[in-house]
Structure 1
Amino acid sequence: MKNVVITGSTRGLGLEMAKEFLRAGCNVTLSGSKPESFERAKDQITEYKDRFIYIPCNVRNREEIRNLWNKSVEKWGNVDIWINNAGQNCPREYLWDTPEEYMDAVVDTNIKGVIYGSKIAAENMLKQGHGQIWNMEGLGSNDMIIEQTILYGTSKRALTYFTRGLAKELKDSPVKAGRLSPGMMLTEFITKSPTGEVSSVTRDDKFKKIFNILGEKPETVAKFFVPRILNNTKQDAHIVWLTNMKSAVKFMMAPFRKRDLL
């Protein structure tokens, strides 16, 4: 039985991964910066009430991340798997039109939050003698540049470099670092702006057409990720949902497969 901590796990892919780990028999610490999100989510996992806890955590705050580790160890005894999933998006705007508070939020959450989480997990896993750290990639991780998304993309590109570097630094240790690449998913990152309004991309016919071909529901991606995480033995592992081959097949099948995800 593995003990798993997932940041940003009260909704979206984080929550779906938590469900899959619970179904696999793991103990799970869910976390998020808004307790009300957990209140909405907990009804979906009540059957596993003895195998999960919720710890409030804003990954922009190092002490809250440290508390997340400490409370998890206090409950489960150790942490086998730590997933830095929490992320921050921003309005789809050109850089010069983007409010400055989003610049701080994206960098502090997507870059510094992952660095803090990885540091705290790594230093403690080295002490306990085992563990795996997984960081969540996203748009920009593969160097693809899409206008009006460059702030978010920059943060995800930095995350990829950081995680590969961390894996090199951990290469002679019992602790492993790896990346998760979920592709295009139907979550609030796509459908809503950071302020909760309907996202402008939902009115972009070109984007909708591509998304309905390549996009996927988070529960499908979670079912793909979790068994591979649990079975991983490699350093610098990269688990990719939307591979080039899979993308090509989806485009070939698009004329015969009607999808209305977005």
Structure 2
Amino acid sequence: MKNVVITGSTRGLGFFMGKEFLNAGCNVTFSGRGEKPNENLLSLMDQYKDQSLYVRCDVKNKADVENLWNESVKKWGSVDIWINNAGVNYPEDFIYNINSEYVESVIDTNIKGMIYGSQIASKNMLKQDKGQIWNMEGLGSNNMIVSKTILYGTSKHALTYFTRGLAKELSKTSVKVGRLSPGMMATDFILKQPESKGISESFKKIFNILGDKPEIVAKFFIPRILKNTKNDAHIMWLTTSKIIFRFATSPFVKRKII
């Protein structure tokens, strides 16, 4: 039985990953910025009372992240898997139109929050002589540049560099570091951007070809995370071959994700 901590896990992919870990018999610490779990998470935790814990955590605050580790260890005894999943988006627009509030939010959450989580998890996992840290990639991790998303893409590009660097630093230890690449998912993160003007028809067309629901991606990720024994591992859902296949079959197979 593994003890798992997931930041940003009250909804979306984080929520469904937690659910799959619970189904696999793991203990899971869920976390989010709210003082209490939302209704969906409360319902799930009620089904797994002995396996679940909720800890409020704003990853921008290092003290919160330290508390997340401490409360998890107090409950489970150790942490085997730590997943830095928390992330924020911003209105799709040219970078010169993005105000400083969104710049600070993206950098503080997607980069600094991930670094805090990695620092605290690696330091303590070295002490317990075991553990795995996983960071969540996104648009920008593969060097692709998409206009009007470059702030978010910059944060994910930095995440990939940092994660591979951390894996190198820990290569001679018992702590493993890896990356999760979920592709395009139909979550509030994409569908309900702040101040969104709505989703364009061209975006919907591409998304319905390449997109997936987070519960599907979670079912793919969790058994591979639990079986992983490699450092600098990379678990990718939307592979190049899958992209080619979906575009080739799109005239015949109609997928409606959004």
Range into which the TM-score falls when normalised by the shorter chain = over 0.9
d(CA) in 2 for partners of 1:178, 1:122: 12
Pairs within 5 Å for 1:228-243: 228-243=224-239
1:95 Cα deviation after fit: 0.7
Pairs within 5 Å for 1:136-155: 136-155=136-155
Partner of 1:107: 107
Pairs within 5 Å for 1:183-222: 183-194=183-194, 199-200=196-197, 202=199, 204-222=200-218
Pairs within 5 Å for 1:143-182: 143-182=143-182
Secondary structure of 1:255 counterpart: coil
How many residue pairs were aligned?
Answer: 258
- Deviation by residue 1:60-99 (Cα, 9 ceiling, x = unmatched): 0000000000000000000000000000111111111111
Give the TM-score taking structure 1 as reference length: 0.96
Q: Please list every run of 5 or more consecutive structure 1 residues that lacks an aligned counterpart in the other structure.
A: none
d(CA) in 2 for partners of 1:100, 1:210: 30
1:200 Cα deviation after fit: 3.4
Note if 1:18 corresponds to 2:25.
no
Note if 1:258 corresponds to 2:258.
no
Give the TM-score taking structure 2 as reference length: 0.98
1:201 Cα deviation after fit: 5.1
d(CA) in 1 for partners of 2:234, 2:221: 10
1:34 Cα deviation after fit: 1.8
d(CA) in 1 for partners of 2:52, 2:19: 10
Note if 1:69 corresponds to 2:69.
yes
d(CA) in 1 for partners of 2:197, 2:246: 25
Letter in 1 for 2:243: S
1:41 Cα deviation after fit: 2.1
The alignment's C-alpha RMSD in Å is 1.1
Letter in 2 for 1:19: K
Secondary structure of 2:22 counterpart: helix
1:44 Cα deviation after fit: 3.0
Letter in 2 for 1:244: T
Q: Please list every run of 5 or more consecutive structure 2 residues that lacks an aligned counterpart in the other structure.
A: none
d(CA) in 2 for partners of 1:151, 1:37: 29
Pair 1:37–1:102, CA change in 2 (3 A): farther
Pair 1:151–1:37, CA change in 2 (3 A): farther
Q: Percent identity?
A: 64
1:111 Cα deviation after fit: 0.3
Secondary structure of 1:177 counterpart: strand
